[in-house]
Amino acid sequence: MVNDRIKGLLYTLYILLVFPIVAQAGWVITEESKDSFGNKMIQTIFIQDNFIRHETPSNIAIIDLEKREITVVFSQYKVYWTGTVQQLKENSIAAYDKQMEEMLVGLRPSDKKELDSIYIAIKKQLLDTTASSINHDIRVVETGDYEEIIGYNAEKYNIFYDSILVESVWHTTEVKPYDDIDINYMISFMKQLNPVSGQGSIAYTTKYIDLLKNGMLLKSVEYSPNKNKQIVTVTKIREINIVTDFFIPPPNYREASFSDILYLMPLLEEENKKNDPW
């Protein structure tokens, strides 16, 4: 469904900004994400001069930290969309509104009420960035445990939210790629992409930000209340010079509105089904 793609895109952008972002002359990082159900995804991140290009099998996102803009590239359609985080969220909400109108047709009143409550919660999560976590106890605790990851010695830290273990991260000081990136721009983006309330506020604590400034996170294990885990591991990192044009859409791609792109998605899926011999 379109709303699943939107949530997936926003989640991908958030993961990009809270996990290992690096920069110097230019860096290429490969990450592997997997969950308790065996689902895996490979992500590649290119960083240089406050530009970040993030690639997954389904999306390309280019972030300009200085302009505070995101460009989402849809290679299969040869189109792209550019805007601020707030505009991305507002366009996402507009897409949800359209879907809600279609989904509510013919539903029983009780089902409409349940669906509407879910929608309100999603909308609040996308747009509300004013909540505070002052009343919550967030601690980043050194464990004294170390692990070698892709040749670097990494120390394990446990992160507690109201005394509940919510995440473990492995941090190394042997690579310090944040020296040339503007941390303030990055934190600004993080706060726009994810509400300050709840577990997302962990990324704004002084201790967590210090880890990002003074080294690199090579591994993260996020624990959910249902005992599932989301594991992200850096599998490769190398320093290279990246051509500037790599951080703009190809010249033969056209800029499209968000609604146009959402309209193209089901059309292409239907076309692929017709051409699939299986």
CB atoms within 10 A of CB 134: 7
Q: How far apart are CA 58 and CA 76, in angstroms?
A: 9
pLDDT of res. 135: 58
pLDDT of res. 22: 41
Extract the tokens encoding 32: 């592997």
Which 3 state secondary structure label does DSSP give 172? strand
pLDDT of res. 257: 83
Q: Which residue type is seen at 274?
A: K
Q: Residue 270: enclosing H or E segment and its boundaries?
A: helix 258-275
pLDDT of res. 197: 42
pLDDT of res. 58: 76
Q: Could you read off the pLDDT tens digit of each residue along the chain, which spans 278 residues?
A: 545 555 555 555 555 554 444 444 788 999 999 988 889 999 999 988 888 899 988 789 998 988 889 998 988 888 999 998 888 878 777 776 776 666 666 677 776 676 667 667 666 666 555 544 445 688 899 999 999 999 999 999 999 988 899 999 999 999 877 666 776 677 667 666 655 444 455 666 778 778 878 888 999 999 988 888 999 999 999 888 899 899 999 999 999 887 777 666 655 455 444 444 44
Domain parsing of the chain, residue ranges: 138-233
pLDDT of res. 273: 47
pLDDT of res. 82: 93
Q: Residue 13: enclosing H or E segment and its boundaries?
A: helix 2-18
* Cα distances (Å, whole numbers) of residue 195 to 122, 123, 192: 12, 11, 7
Spatial CB neighbours of 15, under 8 Å, sequence gap ≥ 6: 33, 43, 232
pLDDT of res. 161: 87
Q: Which residue type is seen at 244?
A: T
Spatial CB neighbours of 1, under 8 Å, sequence gap ≥ 6: 99
User: What single-letter DSSP state applies at residue 27?
Assistant: E
CB 160 within 8 A of CB 223: no
Q: How far apart are CA 125 and CA 54, in angstroms?
A: 23
Q: How far apart are CA 195 and CA 209, in angstroms?
A: 17
pLDDT of res. 103: 67
